[in-house]
Amino acid sequence: MKKILALIFLMVCVSIAQEKFTNPILMGFYPDPSICKVDDNYYLVNSSFSYFPGIPVFQSKDLVNWKLIGHVLDRQEQMNTNGLGVSRGIFAPSIRYHKGIYYVTCTLVDAGGNFIVKSKEPSGPWSNPVWIPEINGIDPSPFFDDDGKAYIVYNSVAPDNKPLYDGHRTIRIIEFELENLKVKGREHILINGGTDLSKKPVWIEGPHIFKKDGYYYLIAAEGGTEDNHSEVVFRSKNLFGPYESYKNNPILTQRHLDPNRNNPITSTGHADFVVTDEGNWWAVFLGCRPYEDGYYNTGRETFLSPVKWIDGWPIINPDYEEVQYFYPYPTKPATDFATRQYSGNFTFVDDFDDEKLAGDWIFLRTPKEIWYSLKEKKGFLRIYLRPETCSGKGNPSFIGHRQQHIKSSAETKINFRPESEFEKAGIVIFQNEKHFYYLCKSKNKLNSTIQLFKSTSGNDIELIEEKIIPEEIQSDDLFLKIVSEGKEYSFHYAWKEGEWHTFENKLDASFLSTKVAGGFVGAVFGVYATSSGKESNNKAFYDYFLYRGNDDIYNSNK
């Protein structure tokens, strides 16, 4: 009996050891991850750019299954991104814990600069930003030394602001007083240019400092956030240097691999480290999943990979050249902890039955007024039509959900009666102000219609297709769906649930890719209503929103 029990125990242990998690751990545009561990909890934050609320905060028990517990910037007085392009705003937050307080440092690009906020609970509420104008740069990250002193390390300009080449930057550090949240003393340059100045390394950024075995280690991204992206490491016995560059840098990159490989993961870098209770090191970092030729619409996502220490240096993904889609779990899986999936294939549905919106919904910039309601009609999301449009830089009547898979779909049911050709309500797949498709219900001068628009380089939209709604359709209800198949989007409508008709097929998805549209965000499905620059008292009711993701590679992890 003892042998049987021992065999069962061994089989269970082997099963746990062999169970694998799925990368990316946060799908869709969740870039620039920063992580910290407090007791048996892991907390992770990401860049959110001009979307509101800003800086999502995730919690996990196993580094794999994550729960969205709040946002750092969820109040209007904390963050105003109106007037900014979608890819401006919040860049590269860093989260750290020190003596009972959580700190987040970040940059609000074009709207205030560098700041720090704090909270006793990671779920918030977080303080209003305290601005740090003395820091001339981006990507600030706190470091707490053993002697009790605090510092901020950050990306900054070239020495004397005289770059030797395009992309010449530095990593600097300055002491920071936690009592009054102000810098102290003078800044020090830790890294000039990058790993080897003679080779003209570009865009050294996203720095973090930690201490191990008597060394200060500085990790940073290098090479720019596209295909040449990488993570590099330096070390020094003295906080202020000089820092030695690891001779085998970078410690993570995919830029040397065949671009035609199957299911590529590219642009890896901008990492942060964490240590489990078992003493194992892991890295979170951003990466991209192109569907072909470097085109991707899902943005820069958060990946997880093991770290191995070799001869006093940390190596990310040490046993493979390619970042893997599947690794053994870092620790015992805590699948019951998460309230929804952010990795692998999954379905997300919102029936709008709750009293407030789910935390995963995001707004284009900071709302100045309340133009939506979940209470006016039970089980529906009511949205007022307003003059603002997705082509502008204000806050339109848009509520979005990230595209998280290469193959995905988003559908909704609306109840809406347009009163003029300016009034439109429907569903959009949006990348930025100049790159989106909009499927909506509207009208021409005589009839109610279904319309499909494509954004232009200006503030207008181009009508691609229009279908007059037959007179025998008496209901104001309409089902709309957008399907992503990698390089193509298709658009569908239905009068009755499940009875879909194809409205337009195989439109170019690369139009919404980062390679074409530029910027740092990914595509977002959104419910969107507008009166196209005119005043309106009309409103649209959304009955539900359903997102499905089904990428082929995840069906192999059985």
List where CATH 2.60.120.200 sits in the chain: 346-556
Q: Which of 62, 205, 350, 423 is catalytic?
A: 205
Q: What is the mean pLDDT of the chain?
A: 94
Q: Is 187 a residue whose pLDDT tops 80?
A: yes
Task: Please check whether residue 126 is in contact with residue 119, taking contact to mean a CB–CB distance below 8 angstroms.
Answer: yes
At residue 10, the pLDDT reads: 29
370, with CB counted inside 10 A (0-12, 13-18, 19+), is exposed
212, with CB counted inside 10 A (0-12, 13-18, 19+), is middle
At residue 11, the pLDDT reads: 31
Q: Is 205 a residue of the active site?
A: yes
At residue 14, the pLDDT reads: 34
In this prediction, residue 6 has a pLDDT band, given cuts at 50, 70 and 90, of very low
Query: Measured between alpha carbons, how far is 386 from 319 in angstroms, rounded to an integer?
Result: 54
List where CATH 2.115.10.20 sits in the chain: 26-328
Q: Tell me the DSSP string of 447-470.
A: SEEEEEEEE-SSS-EEEEEEEEPP
Q: Is 433 a residue of the active site?
A: no
Q: Is 210 a residue whose pLDDT tops 70?
A: yes
Task: Please check whether residue 156 is in contact with residue 176, taking contact to mean a CB–CB distance below 8 angstroms.
Answer: no
- Mean pLDDT, to the nearest integer, of 271-280? 97
Looking at domain 26-328, its CATH class is mainly beta
What lies within 8 Å, CB to CB, of 389 at 6+ separation is 396, 459, 461, 530, 532, 533
At residue 23, the pLDDT reads: 98
In this prediction, residue 18 has a pLDDT band, given cuts at 50, 70 and 90, of low
Q: What is the pLDDT of residues 381-435, one digit of tens each?
A: 999 999 999 999 999 999 999 999 999 999 999 999 999 999 999 999 999 999 9
Q: Which of 32, 187, 231, 423 is catalytic?
A: 32
Q: What is the pLDDT of residues 458-489, one digit of tens each?
A: 888 999 999 999 988 889 999 999 999 999 99
- Of 233, 211, 238, nearest to 220 by C-alpha is 233
At residue 445, the pLDDT reads: 84
At residue 12, the pLDDT reads: 32
Q: What is the pLDDT of residues 228-261, one digit of tens each?
A: 999 999 999 999 999 999 999 999 999 999 999 9
Q: What is the pLDDT of residues 323-364, one digit of tens each?
A: 999 999 999 999 999 989 999 999 999 999 999 999 999 999
At residue 492, the pLDDT reads: 98
Query: Measured between alpha carbons, how far is 340 from 442 in angstroms, rounded to an integer?
Result: 34
Q: What is the pLDDT of residues 111-145, one digit of tens each?
A: 999 999 999 999 999 999 999 999 999 999 999 99
The CATH topology of domain 346-556 is: Jelly Rolls (2.60.120)
